[in-house]
Amino acid sequence: MTDDGTNRLLVYGAYGYTGRLIVEAAAERGLDPIVAGRDPAKTRGVATAHDVPARSFDVRAAESHLGGVDAVLNCAGPFTETADAMVEACLATGTDYLDITGELPVFERLRRRDDDAQRAGVTLLPGVGFDVVPTDCLAAHLHDRLPDADHLSLALEADGGVSPGTLKTVLGGLGDGGAVRRDGVLRHERVAARIRVVDFGDGLQRAVSIPWGDVSTAYHTTGIPNIEVYLSAPAGARAGMKLTSYLGDGLDNGAVQRGLSWLIDRYVDGPDTETRRSGTARVWGEARTGDTRVVSRLRTPETYQFTVESALLAAEKVLDGDAPEGYQTPASAFGPDLVLELDGVERVDLDAGEVVERASAPDATVPAE
């Protein structure tokens, strides 16, 4: 808590693409964040640009650097390498934890720390960006519409590019393959093993199955035992994603990963200001049981713009004491309408007669190309 009685937020990974955007928006709102990261020069650069305090430390030494901090917003991916150590520090110091991960293993590992967080009086709230706020909130909304649902399908379509950190995360996880939830249990499958035809509101699109975080988080939020997630992609990208099942072992090689990381740092930047301002993303969801089916859709701002706004909204709610203790998802903490608190978000519920996907085949899957 600061001298004026306000709670203090520390943003770790503040000099990454998304971290910089979040710090800039937080400073503009008067949140006076502490910026932090492993690289002292880069961290000081962000702090100087926004006239905020800075702390430089490796995440493995975080515990001794969280004095005076009420909540940590971790923006340093890949989160498989940073989340566990930061959570340990937060549990030891009574500091609430948030991050913007979409990495399935991170959600699963942090979910298992629920009892530890309850004992420490700490909120563990991963996934407060585009991964997974809109999908988690849509899952909870669909569950409210059909409380007996035993199958949940979600799909995404987005404009714009990706940041260097996101691309590193994607490449780093290719060797893990895909995943779905079946009868309450995570099941491994190839990435892009299935293709589904859905309507995001602009006509039918083909989407491929991916191991999005909701395979974990939506199960925690809703208890629906069968969950799958799809990503809309053009034919060339779908074919490329299928190759990951064959290239995964090679991409797990440390030397290959280091080489790819260097190339990303040198040649990849995130979406520019105009793309973030004008881009949109679309989320489709279906819950069903037997012959009963409900479908809802979301339209949101561009994914990185959305992440900035949703992460700060969640952080402010946590700092205000509005989040339950223990492991939470965005919708379990704040309800399905959390996403509607963000500017530019629209939600549409479809009646049975309006659903134009392959209603005669509830799974609506087609053979992979």
pLDDT, tens digit only, all 369 positions of the chain: 444 545 799 999 999 999 999 999 999 999 999 999 999 999 999 999 999 999 999 999 999 999 999 999 999 988 999 999 999 999 999 999 999 999 999 999 999 999 999 999 999 999 999 989 999 999 999 999 999 999 999 999 887 644 454 445 555 555 566 789 999 999 988 877 888 999 999 889 898 888 889 999 999 999 999 999 998 876 555 555 555 555 555 555 555 445 545 544 554 566 778 878 878 999 999 999 999 999 999 999 999 999 999 999 999 999 999 999 999 999 999 999 999 999 999 999 997 656 555 432 334 444 444
Distance between CA atoms of 226 and 214, rounded to whole angstroms? 11
The pLDDT assigned to 361 comes to 33
Sequence-distant (≥ 6) Cβ neighbours of residue 262 within 8 angstroms: none
DSSP 156-217: EEE-S---HHHHHHHHHTGGG-EEEEETTEEEEE-TT--EEEEE-SSSEEEEEEE--THHHH
Confidence (pTM): 0.88
Rg of the chain, C-alpha, whole Å:
20
> How much is the pLDDT for 258?
54
The residues of the chain that CATH labels 3.30.360.10 are 133-302+341-366
DSSP 314-352: HHHHHHTT-SPSEE--HHHHH-GGGGGGSTT-EEEEEPG
CB contact set of 114 (below 8 Å; sequence gap of 6+): 124, 326, 327
Q: Which CATH superfamily is domain 9-129+305-335 in?
A: NAD(P)-binding Rossmann-like Domain (3.40.50.720)
> Where are the domain boundaries for CATH 3.40.50.720 in the chain?
9-129+305-335
Q: What CATH number matches the domain at 133-302+341-366, 3.40.50.920, 3.30.360.10, 3.40.50.460, 1.10.10.60?
A: 3.30.360.10
Would you say the C-alpha torsion 202, 205, 211, 214 has a positive or negative sign? positive
SS3 state at 362: coil
What is the pLDDT, as a whole number, of residue 366? 46
